[in-house]
Amino acid sequence: MKKEVLRVSGMDCPSCAKDIEKTVAKLNGVEKAEVNFIAEKLTVTYDDSQLPREKSRKI
């Protein structure tokens, strides 16, 4: 498992953060996705054999 913290900009409200969490969590290989709305950061834990780094950058 790998864990990465990605910057997410353009969220208008906490509801947007929840939508991002739900969408990312549905990707193959993603075990956990959490968005910190105030910090504008997405922390994602995933199996890199199922979600190569190139794809994770497109999240």
* 59 residues of the chain, pLDDT tens digit each: 899 999 999 999 999 999 999 999 999 999 999 999 999 999 999 998 886 666 555 55
pLDDT of residue 48: 84
59 CB burial (10 A radius; 0-12, 13-18, 19+): middle
pLDDT of residue 10: 92
pLDDT of residue 32: 96
d(CA 17, CA 47): 22
> Model-level pTM?
0.79
